[in-house]
């Protein structure tokens, strides 16, 4: 290998190392964002629901036992009806975050589920658990 070619080869190796390093940094950054989001969601969920399967993000809406007479039961049902949609929305978000963390582990994080292209970094910053790119 002559000197010129050797320099060129070293440059390519350097670039590859840089890309790999950037990828690693990117994954570490987003993994911590996702873990923070997961903890926040679990905290909110635990106020209104009890976990069925925490690993999968399955929760069940609970309601306080206020009493047993008719009026108390009505209040309990009302509270349940109020919490249910909140719980379902939080649960769905939590499951998205769990799936995104799976993708971090399997090395497919940051790619669109639909067209397999890279998801825009701004989109991921706004929503780290985004599954698709802006176009899809
Ligand atoms: Zn796409």
pLDDT in tens for each of the 136 residues of the chain?
577 777 778 888 777 766 666 678 889 999 999 999 999 999 999 999 999 998 899 999 887 777 788 888 888 888 888 899 999 999 999 999 999 999 999 888 999 999 999 999 999 999 999 999 999 9
Distance 21 CA to ligand 1 centre (A): 25
Distance 132 CA to ligand 1 centre (A): 5
Residue 52 domain boundaries? 3-126
Does some domain include residue 82? Answer: yes
Distance 85 CA to ligand 1 centre (A): 29
CA dihedral over 33, 35, 40, 45, signed as positive or negative = positive
Q: How many separate domains does the chain show? A: 1
Distance 74 CA to ligand 1 centre (A): 47
Neighbours of ion ligand 1 (CB under 5 A): 112, 114-115, 133, 136
pLDDT at residue 1 in the model: 59
111 three-class SS: strand
Does some domain include residue 119? Answer: yes
Instruction: Give the CATH number, domain containing residue 55.
Output: 1.20.120.910
Does some domain include residue 136? Answer: no
Distance 68 CA to ligand 1 centre (A): 53
Distance 111 CA to ligand 1 centre (A): 8
pLDDT at residue 22 in the model: 62
Q: Are 41 and 35 in contact (CB under 8 A)?
A: no
């Amino acid at each position: 290998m002559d000197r010129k070619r050797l320099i060129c080869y070293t440059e390519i190796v350097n670039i590859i190392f840089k890309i790999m390093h950037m990828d690693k940094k990117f994954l570490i950054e987003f993994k911590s964002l996702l873990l923070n989001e997961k903890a926040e969601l679990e905290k909110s969920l635990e106020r209104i629901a009890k976990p069925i399967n925490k690993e999968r993000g399955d929760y069940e809406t609970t309601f306080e036992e206020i009493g047993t007479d008719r009026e108390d039961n009505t209040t309990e049902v009302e509270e349940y009806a109020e919490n249910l949609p909140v719980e379902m929305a939080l649960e769905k978000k939590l499951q998205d975050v769990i799936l995104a963390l799976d993708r971090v582990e399997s090395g497919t994080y940051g790619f669109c589920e639909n067209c397999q292209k890279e998801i825009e970094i701004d989109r991921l910053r706004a929503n780290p658990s985004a599954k698709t790119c802006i176009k899809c």
